[in-house]
Structure formats: C-alpha cells, structure tokens
Amino acid sequence: MTEPLVTIQIVVRNGERYLRHCLAAVRAQTYPHVDVVVLDNVSTDTTCDIVREFGYRLIEHSTNLGMWPGQEWLLPQTSGEYILALSVDVILHPQFIEEAVRACEADHGIAAVQGKFFQYSIADLEAGRTSLSQAIIDTCGFALTRARRVVNIGHGTPDDAAHQEAQDIFGVEGAAPFFRRTALEQCRIPAEQPNAPGMLIDPDYFWYGDDLDLAWRMTLFGHRQRFIPSAIAWHDRSTTKGSAATPVIGQLRRLSVRRAIPVRKRQLDWANVRFTIIKNDYIINILRDAIPIMLRELSVQGYMLFFEPRVLAAWVRLICLLPRMIRRRRSVLKRAVVSPGVMHRWYL
C-alpha cells in the first residue's frame, strides 16, 4: 500500500532567525513521503537564501499575503493528501509527521491533528543556554470557555497525565496544524466576488485569529480535530510563555509582554476573536451564556481602557466590518451540521 504524500507548507516573512532550525527539523523527519514548499512574503533578510541552501521549493510572492492567506494561496500549488501548515518558529520532533499520518490513517474520521507543543526560546537556543525540553507545554489545541475566552490547552503548565491521552478537541491551534486535504477543502464558504473560488481564510483577518476561525468552522461542519500526544513539537510563542491568562489578573501579569506586541496586532487580536464569535456561534448559545460573556467583555474593556487605550480603536474596525461578517455568518451557519447543543458541550 502506497503511503500518502504530506505537503509541508511554510509561509514566512523575515524568518532568518528561526528558519535553519525549522528546516533542519523538517529534513530530519522519519516519514519519507514529504513535499516541502516555502512561500516568501517579501522578506528583506536572508530568508530566501536559507531556503535555497536546503534545496526546498521556494515561491517568492510580490506582496505580503500574510500567514494564513498565504497558506490558502499555496494549496492549489501543492498535491499532498495531507497538509502541514508549518510556522517558521516551530521545531518538529523527527517523528511528528509519522505520528500524525499514523493517527489519520488509522481513523479516517480525523480531519486535523493537533500535536503536543512544548515551549522553547530561540534566544536561549542560540546562546546555548538550553536544549529542547519536554517540560512546559505551549499548547495542546484550542478550547473555549463559556465566556468565550480562547484557551490554549495546557499552556504554561508542566506535562502531566492530563496531556498523555489522545482525544478530540474543539480546534487545532495555528502553529503547525496537520490537515486532511479533503476536509480542509470542504470548509470553504462562498466567496463574495463573482466567479471567485470559495473562501477558506477570511481575507479581512490577515494577522490574527484565522486559525481559530477555521477550527471553529471545521467543528461546525462536523470535521473531527484530534489531539495526538505522540506528535511532538516545540513553539517559540511571541506573546507569552507564562501560565494561561485569566481575566484582568492574568492580563496584568502579561502587561509588559503585551506592550511589546505591535498595537495593530493587539487590535486585530481583539476584533478578530469577536468576528469569529459573530460568524460561528449560535445565538441560542450566546444567550445561554450571556452572563459570563458580558462579565468577560466588561473586564476586557476595563483593562483596555486603563492599560491599552490604543487598542480601543479596534471598535471602529469592528463596527465597519460588522455587516460583512454577518453575511459570512449566514454562509457558515447554512452549512453547519453540528447542533447548538452539541457545540455548547465544547464550552468549558
């Protein structure tokens, strides 16, 4: 029996600091049937030279498409039965792809695989202060609370028995999700331009939240996403390496880290998560959880008012794009097959 082809799609802009580590881990994969393609988003550093050194296929785009629009743009250029949408700040364990393929081939109902991601720091790795450790978790996938707070499962906690069992999850996180191509393609919704192909990634997101939006839609459309703990990788997350944030108190602990993040990204973070809720959440579930949702929103708005007032400008974008998001909501929910009651069970 022929083993399926896996396409590794890497979208990068000015990634020279991470790229050699990332590509070396790709080259070390034990799974033999792998195709690698790198889309460069107008880098001004040595990114393209590094890709050429490794001999992988390089496509240099004339504009910066962004991470997830770039991943969608690459899909027609590749042919793998499985797609690994790999971020450049991720280092794969040599058996990552082998474990992901094994899981999917054993259970054809799996649409996407979430690996167990541990934390690492590129600065420490460069300075020789640390090696890759399987101690502190970065993420085991997405979960949502009843207040609609997005949670990276296990983030900032030690690896323990709770993270040893394979299980279905709400959604795969965007650092290196492993997709079955057929399931991915089935998550397209109609484009708003005549004769255009269906949309996989919302073109209005660009920088943040695309992965959550896609994962939520996959669950709504009945595609299972599964955490596979034997598929191991390491991620240098730029936002935080602490424990998972809690309303207000958790944000205060992260204040200095958040201030180092560009204001535009923080604005997109806030607005795009709300767009994702607007597009994908059932009204009956929002009403059911109205109190925790309102309490969280009040705490977030209070935090922004006192500590990040420039982020409040995202309200303008939210209001301007709201009619468009409501139109897209109709397209999403028209194809939803999972009932409100089943979806509500995912909310912690």
Using one digit for the tens of pLDDT, what is the confidence trace for 238-297? Answer: 766 555 444 455 555 667 667 778 888 899 999 999 999 999 999 999 999 999 999 999
Range of the domain at 317: 249-344
**Residue 202 or residue 128, greater confidence:** 202
Specify the pLDDT at position 336: 97
Same domain, 59 and 108: yes
d(CA 9, CA 38): 6
- Total of domains in the chain: 2
Residues 296 and 188 in one domain: no
In sequence order, the β-bridge partners of residue 11 are 39
Residues 126 and 252: their CA atoms lie apart, in Å, by 30
Q: What percent of the chain is predicted at pLDDT more than 70? A: 95
Nearest CA to 82 out of 172, 6, 26 is that of 6
Task: Report the percent of the chain where pLDDT is more than 90.
Answer: 82
More confident of the two residues 112 and 242: 112
| Shared domain check, 146 and 98 | yes
Residue 142 has pLDDT above 50, yes or no: yes
- 217 and 253 both lie in a single domain: no
User: Does one domain contain both 35 and 114?
Assistant: yes
What phi, psi does 6 have (nearest 5°)?
A: -110, 125
Residue 313 lies in a domain: yes
Whether residue 241 lies inside any domain: the answer is: no
CATH of the domain at 95: 3.90.550.10
Domain end marker among 211, 235, 259: 235
What are 152-208's pLDDT values in tens digits? 999 999 999 889 999 999 999 999 999 999 999 999 998 877 777 889 999 999 878
156 torsion bin: left (phi>0), alpha (psi -120 to 50), beta (else): left
Average pLDDT over the chain, rounded to whole?
92
**Which whole number is the average pLDDT over 115-130?**
89
Is 159 a domain residue? yes
In a domain, 240, yes or no: no
Q: In the prediction, which pLDDT does 131 show?
A: 77
Q: What is the pLDDT of residues 295-320, one digit of tens each?
A: 999 999 999 999 999 999 999 999 99
Max avg pLDDT among 58-62, 126-130, 237-241: 58-62
* Same-domain status, 207 and 148: yes
| Co-location of 216 and 272 in the same domain | no
- Measure the CA–CA gap between 348 and 346, rounded to whole angstroms: 6
pLDDT reported for residue 248: 53
* Backbone dihedral angles phi then psi of residue 168, each to the nearest 5 degrees: -70, 145
Say if 29 falls within a structural domain. Answer: yes
Boundary-marking domain end, from 235, 257, 282? 235
Q: What is the pLDDT of residues 4-13, one digit of tens each?
A: 999 999 999 9
- Rg (the chain; Cα; Å): 20
Q: What is the pLDDT of residue 244?
A: 45
Residue 82 lies in a domain: yes
> In this structure, are 119 and 230 located in the same domain?
yes
Instruction: Report residue 285: phi and psi, to 5°.
Output: -75, -35
- Structural domain contains residue 244: no
Q: Residue 1: inside a domain, yes or no?
A: no
Residues 301 and 172 in one domain: no
